[in-house]
Every structure is written in C-alpha cells, then in structure tokens.
Amino acid sequence: MSDSQNELLQDYKDNLLGVFGDPALVLTEGQGVYVTDANGKRYLDLLGGIAVNSIGYAHPDWVAAVSEQAGKLAHISNLFTSPQGISLAHQLLELTDAPEGSHVFFANSGSEANEAAFKLARRHGAARPGPDGAARTRVLALENAFHGRTMGSLALTAKEAYRAPFEPLPGGVTHIPASIEALEAELDDTVSALIVEPVQGESGVHVLPDGFLARARELTREHGALLIVDEVQSGIGRTGQWLATTAQLPEGVFPDAITLAKGLGGGFPIGAMITVGTEVSSLLTAGQHGTTFGGNPLATAAASATLDVIKDEGLLGNADVVGAHLAAALNDLPEVREVRQHGLLIGIDLVQDSPEQALAPAVVTAARAAGFIINATGPSTVRLAPPLIITAQETDSFVASLPGIIRDARAALAGS
Ligand code: PMP
C-alpha cells in the first residue's frame, strides 16, 4: 500500500523550515469536528487547529461567506477599507459590550495583535510620564505567559527556551508571579502596562487566581498604567463566554485593551485589538502602525460569518454544557490527576509513573494512532480545545478510549 503521508512528510522536511517542530500528519480534509490525513485516516479533532476552528471545519455558512467574498473583493490594502471590516468592528464592539469611544484594529494573528498592544503601551508610557518625568517603559507580564513569538510579543512571553536564542529582545518587560501580592509589590507609577491572559492556555490551562484581574484593574487605574488582556486563546466563545475576562471583572468594568485572534476567523488568519474608550483609542495615531493585509475583506467576512454561527447556533452554551460533561467524565478516570475546564478549553494533568516521565507527549502520539487529535503542553499535561460545535457523544468516544490510549503510551515509553 502506498504511504502518501510519509512521502509528503519527507518532502516537507526536504523543502520547508520545520521551525515549529516537524508536523505529525499531512491533513487533506476537514468536515465538522473531523479531519482526514493524506492516507485517508479520519480523526476526531479535539484541538481544533489550536483553538482556531471554533465552528468546525467547512461550516456551510462560513464557506458561503468566504466564497462569495472571494468572488467579490478579496483584498484592498490598508489604504482603503471595506464594508466587511467596518461591519466586523461593529460586531466585536457589540458582543464585547465595549464602552462608547472604543475602537478596533485588525491584524493577521495573535502575535500581531499583541505587537499592536505593546506599541499602545509604549505610546501610553510617553503620554503618561513616570514620577521622574521620563516616559514609562516598564511593562509587566506574568510568569508562564504566552503572548506570541514575534520579537515584541516574545518579549512579553515568559518561557526562557523561546526567548534565549533571540536576545536581545525589546526591553522593559518584567515577569511577575500571578499573585495579588506580587502585583501589589511591582505595580507602581513607572509601569506603562500590565498584560495578562485571563486563562493561560499554552501553560496548560491555568485561570488567573480569584480576584486577581479585579485587583489588577484597581491598581493599574491607581497608578495610571494600562490593563491589557490577551484573549487570543480564551476569547470568542472558547470559555463559554465571548470573553473570559467578563467572568473575572465586575459588571461594567473593562480592561484598556483586548487582543483577539485564533477562534475569531474560524480558520481564516485574523487578529484584532480592541482599544477601550476614547482616551486609549487616541493613543496610536495615523501613520504609527499597520500591516498590508490587516482587516482585509476576505478575512473580515470570514470572521463575521464565524461570529454569526457562534451566536445563531448557541455555541457559547454548548461550550459550557459539553465542556462540563467532558470534564466530569475525565475526572472519573483513575489515570487523570486533575482537570482544569473553562468552557471547551481543558487542561488534563495525567498521573505519571515518575516525575521525569514524559507521558503527555506519548499520549498525544498514542491518541493519534487511535484517531484523536490532542496536544501536550508539558510532560504530564494534555490540552483540549475542540470546535465549539462538538457534541457530548463525540467527547464520550474520546473518554472511553483514553484509558487504552494511556496504556499504549506507557507501553511505548517502556519499550523505548
Ligand atoms: N497569545 C496567546 C494567549 C496565545 O495562546 C497565542 C497562540 N498560542 C498567541 C498569543 C500567539 O498567536 P499567533 O500564534 O496567532 O501569533
């Protein structure tokens, strides 16, 4: 039997820079919550393109919106705008309930949305000098934070292995523990901004401690610093609400900027930054930032269709209900040590045989053999971020298979 997949993977190795790590599969098709590889094998995708394919693959409304827009007007550059970009901005401001005077900036990825937020922080630092009269250049980010891998967003990302090969990074960033005490100790009048993920996805799905974000809002206000929330992974319904921030701040209280990407385009590359209120929205002025592609009609039409589907099909509620069902079932497995569930963003800590054992990566491989796509965020942690359309029956098939998958992973580790 011919193995198209291995031939293509070899071809990839020979011609593409595998800087993200070598791909595990060549995928050729996606429908709903399933993807198919180059050998025709089908998988239940519990990772959803890393929290991107919020409405599943090839949703008919999304396909129709993208096809129609592609035939009408695909790209115009940032010298012009289109009704699609304007209409998406309205949708985003409405669903986030952003106060009067808020604005939207479109980028092409999460990293780019955070680059814009970093530049916003620099402008704010210049507009609100510190006690010595000089521009504030300090930015606080959290330990274990992930904000992207472009130079600015990498400076905000905590992981040393990602940072070290690329020093020097843009300066002024201090990483602090996600505790109210650390925040109170570090946040002073020299800080231009604090950036946080309401739920840290890449670190293994860790929500901010109770009261942290509300206290951060108070302290940033008190000291004249911006509060930026990175909802690239947690936003657009992933945690069962349009924004995870909503559950962590008192009603009517907002951060100063919100970054989005991933699930927003339903598979189309798009990022966004919402600047909250008039004052913050006036920090970046004409000519100071932009990209050629940002906000193009095709990407914004795809995102609009995605938001409509999430709303029309009640997917926020589905994320809550199916997420809770899946977490309860996982919690019943003796192989599982802890489950952290926020809608359909789920971190699973597995019981390891020893602290050194890299069980999670082996489980990812064994899951693939069994027809499930998941990923590992650490030696004992697996993450799930399936399309928000997934059903309880579909997640049940994974939970039923998981003990066998873990057994296979243990056997593979023992044999290696
Ligand atoms: N911020 C967060 C919270 C993320 O999870 C990610 C991606 N994992 C990024 C930023 C970077 O987004 P992108 O890969 O689209 O540049």
Q: Is 190 found in the same domain as 70?
A: yes
pLDDT at residue number 20: 87
Instruction: Find the CATH number of the domain harbouring 354.
Output: 3.90.1150.10
| Amino acid symbol at 405 | I
Going by alpha carbons, the residue nearest to atom 1 of ligand 1 is: 147
pLDDT at residue number 22: 85
Ligand 1 centroid from CA 233, angstroms = 6
116 lines ligand 1 (CB under 6 A): no
Q: Is 42 found in the same domain as 100?
A: no
123 Cβ contact list (under 8 Å, min separation 6):
283, 284, 288
Instruction: Find the CATH number of the domain harbouring 80.
Output: 3.40.640.10
Ligand 1 centroid from CA 267, angstroms = 14
What's the helix, strand, coil split of the chain in %, to 5?
40, 20, 40
Q: Is 159 found in the same domain as 307?
A: yes
Query: What is the CA 353 to chain-centroid distance, rounded?
Result: 31
**Of 281, 312, 343, which residue is a domain's last?**
312
Q: For residue 38, give its domain range.
A: 4-55+314-415
The CA distances from residue 106 to 7, 109, 269, 272, in Å, are: 38, 9, 11, 4
Nearest by Cα to 238 from 161, 310, 345, 135: 345
Q: Is the pTM of this model over 0.95?
A: yes
Q: Is 84 found in the same domain as 219?
A: yes
Ligand 1 centroid from CA 230, angstroms = 9
Q: Is 344 found in the same domain as 299?
A: no
232 lines ligand 1 (CB under 6 A): yes
Question: Which helix or strand (DSSP H or E) is residue 174 part of?
Answer: strand 173-176
Q: How far apart are CA 235 and CA 401, in angstroms?
A: 29
Q: Is 184 found in the same domain as 36?
A: no
**Which residue ranges make up the annotated binding site?**
146, 149, 230-233, 291-292
Going by alpha carbons, the residue nearest to atom 10 of ligand 1 is: 147
Ligand 1 centroid from CA 20, angstroms = 13
Q: Are strands 381-384 and 375-376 parallel, antiparallel or unpaired?
A: antiparallel
Ligand 1 centroid from CA 103, angstroms = 21
Q: Is 66 found in the same domain as 17?
A: no
**Of 312, 329, 347, which residue is a domain's last?**
312
147 lines ligand 1 (CB under 6 A): yes
Tokens of 101: 């005077």
Q: Which atom of ligand 1 is nearest to the CA of 201?
A: 5
Question: Are 43 and 35 in contact, with CB atoms under 8 Å apart?
Answer: yes
Strand partners, 348: 339, 382
Q: Is the ipTM of this complex over 0.90?
A: yes
C-alpha dihedral sign at 333, 336, 337, 341:
negative
Q: Are strands 34-37 and 42-45 parallel, antiparallel or unpaired?
A: antiparallel
Nearest by Cα to 265 from 96, 91, 393: 91
Q: How far apart are CA 62 and CA 64, in angstroms?
A: 5
**Of 293, 312, 331, which residue is a domain's last?**
312
C-alpha dihedral sign at 295, 301, 302, 305:
positive
Q: Is 36 found in the same domain as 139?
A: no
Cis-peptide, bond into residue 334, ω within 30° of zero: no
Q: Is 113 found in the same domain as 235?
A: yes
Tokens of 244: 């995870």
pLDDT at residue number 66: 98
Q: Is 133 found in the same domain as 250?
A: yes
Tokens of 226: 């911006």
Average pLDDT per 10 consecutive residues for the chain, totaling 416 residues: 86 92 93 97 98 98 98 95 98 97 98 98 97 95 98 98 98 98 97 98 98 98 98 98 98 98 98 98 96 97 98 98 98 98 98 93 98 97 98 98 98 90
Q: Are strands 381-384 and 345-350 parallel, antiparallel or unpaired?
A: antiparallel
Give the active site residues. Answer: 146, 230, 262
Q: Which atom of ligand 1 is nearest to the CA of 148?
A: 11
Q: Is 329 found in the same domain as 245?
A: no
256 lines ligand 1 (CB under 6 A): no
Q: Is 113 found in the same domain as 187?
A: yes
Which of 52, 106, 147, 203 for mutating ligand 1's site (highest number of atoms within 8 Å of CB)? 147
As for how many domains the chain has, the answer is: 2
